Amino acid sequence: MHHIGSDFRAYCSRRDEDNCPWKLHAYTTEDKCTVMNPCAHDCSSTRRKKKAKNATKHWICEKVKDWLIDDPTPNASALQKKLKEHHKVSIHYKRVWMGKDLALRQLYGDWDSSFDNLYRFKAQIESTCPGSIVVIDHHTINGKIRFRRFFFALKPCIEGFLSSCRPYLAIDSTFLTCKFKGQLASASAVDEHNWLFPILFWCL
């Protein structure tokens, strides 16, 4: 803010931080005071509090959904910074986390539904491919069923290993980095053409 005689100039408080062009120029004429405001804000309003309370989890969900489609691994802190860079607003960490959680549930489903779908998957495999092995191991905590382990082997893979593969199994696994940690493992063999032959998978 600058005041020289009858000339008054004001600038956005976020001019340096967000390169906001907003300014107000007022000066006194013989008949009245003329106020000019040629540029609009392109940053968060100076009347807002430091943390934007009007950014709901549903708004955040829509803004971060495309980012999570490209890469579902960023945490809430990374999304919080990205929202500030793109939309010029500071949002509480908890609300960003809630928006991210809502977006992931809309994109990939929630954990409870995914667990229930395991039993539908087991029933479908056993009815369409008899002889396959699908084992779902769970335990009960406070009266609620919780997932523990999952084992899956198709009958053609089992028969292919027994009839045409070397008596050798190679086991490898990768870490799961989602909400619930664990490992996704697989066992493969080598067939008569020296190609890898997948046999079974399990999650623990």
Are 64 and 72 in contact, with CB atoms under 8 Å apart?
A: no
> Which one, of 193, 179, 180, lies nearest residue 97 by Cα?
179
pLDDT in tens, the chain (204 residues): 444 555 667 777 767 766 777 777 666 666 555 555 556 666 655 445 455 566 889 999 999 999 999 988 899 999 999 999 988 888 999 999 999 999 999 998 887 788 888 899 999 999 999 999 999 998 888 888 888 899 999 999 999 999 999 988 999 999 987 777 889 999 999 998 899 999 999 998
Look up the pTM and report it: 0.56
Are 150 and 135 in contact, with CB atoms under 8 Å apart?
A: yes
